[in-house]
Amino acid sequence: MTSAAQAETKVYPPSAEVVARAHVDAEKYARMYEESVSDPEAFWGEHGKRIDWIKPYTKVKDVNFDFGSVKINWYADGTLNVSANCLDRHLKTRGDQTAIIWEPDDPNEAAQHITYAELHRRTCRMANILESLGVRKGDRVVIYLPMIPEAAYAMLACARIGAIHSIVFAGFSPDALAARINGCDAKVVITADEAPRGGRKTPLKSNADAALLHCKDTVKCLVVKRTGGQTTWIDGRDFDYNEMALEADDYCAPAEMNAEDPLFILYTSGSTGQPKGVVHTTGGYLVYASMTHEITFDYHDGDIYWCTADVGWVTGHSYIVYGPLANGATTLMFEGVPTYPDASRFWQVCEKHKVNQFYTAPHRDPRVDGSGQRVCRKMRPVVPAHPGHRGRAHQPRGLDVVLRGCRQGEMPDRRHLVADRDRWPHDDPPARRACDQARLGDEAFLWCSARRSGPAVGRRNHRQRG
């Protein structure tokens, strides 16, 4: 038998300890799935209780798929606030716990450990700044930021005051940004002076300036000073977030939102038709993001969880910010790329922050170094996982999750990652070739996402980035 064939049949079984403490095993997964299909109202009625409601729901499901009479409503008479679920309800018991670990692009720059109490303060300041710029409940805010803590502050601040955010990946062009600003009639764009990535700096403010030439004159631009790089400035349109945050109040009351109120807009990938923006509502989305984060990734109190996606994709929305924070987890945000300053960066970050769950895409891991050696051989196992089966989380594209214990031959084909063609590393052909050639390493245990399928609940079931 060839070495390649042997590799494809090799199995990595979970330890007895992991099996014993897992939230879900194969038998429980099958039982839960059957319950969700046979009596979805009872199933989701019970799981809806995992989040806090201002006004508890009395009806779980109100859907109709008849042509001409389609309606999809979940928890429709309940009210809540997503930001309060992710922050306020944790303050008494987790105020001093780290909510977000931020790892910068430059490994020589200090990481940040942001507690729930600090995240709450920063979110409230951002919310008050947005309100001072005229943003109100139902208004749209476009977020065009690198992977910095302010991206999470902005998302949670919008959710706090009832504004609808639309995140644009920081690698997108001014034309793409302008289309998204105009598409939702945004009142404010939040951007940064520059976006460090892979040792380079993308001029986000310059891109935003170019985009705003094609937008209404009333659109305001809130600028985060990430690098201190030189930018152009238009008085009355551009506002300095760093200065405004110094004087903003530390508290902003959360708005009461209906479960079916829009939470965010996110644009689909791979298609050219219009409209491309998909609206995600509040209650059903948060219930599902919270439940799947805990169960799919087998998250336990005290774990350090890392999803390597960008917040510009739906995976980043659900599994960097909303799902983990709703569960009181510690989530890691990474500003950089896997091959900077070298191809061992992912594993260096895992070691540095003692990561327990590492969630990534097949073509992102493990990278090989310039000599073709598998750098992940140096890495200790980092992921406790469910025993021996493949789980499905039903995201907008669904989510095939390869759990520890699966065969390497079952790894989803990276060619299904259509959305990833828009992102890194177009500007780094050698790295692209390296990651195309990389295989799953013998000692790296990962969560890997590719295709997603299956029913969705509480959200529109559309093809989406992630």
Q: What sections of 2-39 are H helices per DSSP?
A: 3-9, 16-21, 26-38
- At residue 363, what are phi and psi to the nearest 5 degrees? -80, -5
Round to whole Å and give the CA distance between 283 and 263.
Answer: 9
Q: Which residue has better confidence, 361 or 82?
A: 82
Pair 403, 352 in one domain: yes
Lowest mean pLDDT among 175-179, 299-303, 440-444: 440-444
Question: Can you give the pLDDT at residue 268?
Answer: 83
SS3 114: strand
Q: Is 264 in the same domain as 401? A: yes
> Does residue 308 form part of some domain?
yes
DSSP state of 11: B
Last residue of a domain, one of 257, 288, 319: 257
The verdict on 247 and 172 lying in the same domain is yes
Identify whether 320 is part of a domain.
Answer: yes
Cβ atoms of 424 and 171 closer than 8 Å: yes
Q: Which of 257, 291, 309 is the last residue of a domain?
A: 257
Whether residue 232 has pLDDT greater than 80: yes
Please answer whether residues 98 and 114 qualify as being in contact, where contact means their C-beta atoms are separated by less than 8 angstroms: yes
pLDDT tens digit sequence for 260-288:
999 999 998 766 677 788 999 999 999 99
The answer as to whether 178 is a domain residue is: yes
Position of tokens 């199995």? 11
Q: Are residues 235 and 263 in the same domain?
A: no
Which of 242, 257, 272 is the endpoint of a domain? 257
Buried b (16+ CB within 10 A) or exposed e, 314-327: bbbbbbbbbbbbbb
| Owner of token pair 């009395």 | 58
CATH number at residue 272: 3.40.50.12780
pLDDT tens digit sequence for 306-352: 999 999 999 999 999 999 999 999 999 999 999 999 999 999 999 99
Q: Tell me: do 290 and 426 sit in the same domain.
A: yes
Question: Would residue 70 count as lying in a domain?
Answer: yes
Please indicate, yes or no, whether residues 226 and 120 belong to a single structural domain of this protein. Answer: yes
Whether the pLDDT of residue 87 is over 60: the answer is yes
Same domain, residue pair 26 and 137: no
253 part of a folded domain:
yes
For the chain, what is the domain count? 2
Q: Do 134 and 22 sit in the same domain of this protein?
A: no
3-state DSSP assignment of residue 310:
coil
330/90 Cα distance (integer angstroms):
12
422 assigned to some structural domain: yes
CB atoms < 10 A from the CB of 187, how many?
20
Question: Which of these ranges, 8-22, 74-88, 164-178, 354-368, has the smallest mean pLDDT?
Answer: 354-368
- Give the model's pLDDT for residue 2: 56
Q: At what angle do helices 204-212 and 174-184 cross, to 10 degrees?
A: 50
What range defines the domain where residue 226 resides?
109-257
Q: To the nearest whole percent, how much of the chain has pLDDT over 90?
A: 70
Residues 355 and 232 in one domain: no
More confident residue, 132 or 461: 132
Q: Tell me, yes or no, whether 86 lies in a domain.
A: no
- The β-bridge partners of 377 are none
Q: What is the pLDDT of residue 13?
A: 85
Q: pLDDT value at position 318?
A: 97
Whether residue 174 has pLDDT greater than 80: yes
Q: Mean pLDDT throughout 373-393?
A: 33
What CATH number is given to the structural domain containing 197? 3.40.50.980
State whether 251 and 364 are in the same domain. Answer: no
- 446, 440 contact by CB (below 8 A): yes
Going by pLDDT thresholds of 50, 70 and 90, the confidence category of residue 361 is confident
129 and 243 together in one domain: yes
Residues 17, 149 share a domain: no
Encode pLDDT of 17-70 as tens digits: 988 999 999 999 999 999 999 999 999 999 999 999 999 999 999 999 999 999
Query: 3-state SS string over 266-298?
Result: EECCCCCCCCCEEEEECHHHHHHHHHHHHHHCC
In a domain, 103, yes or no: no
Q: What's the mean pLDDT in 353-379? A: 60
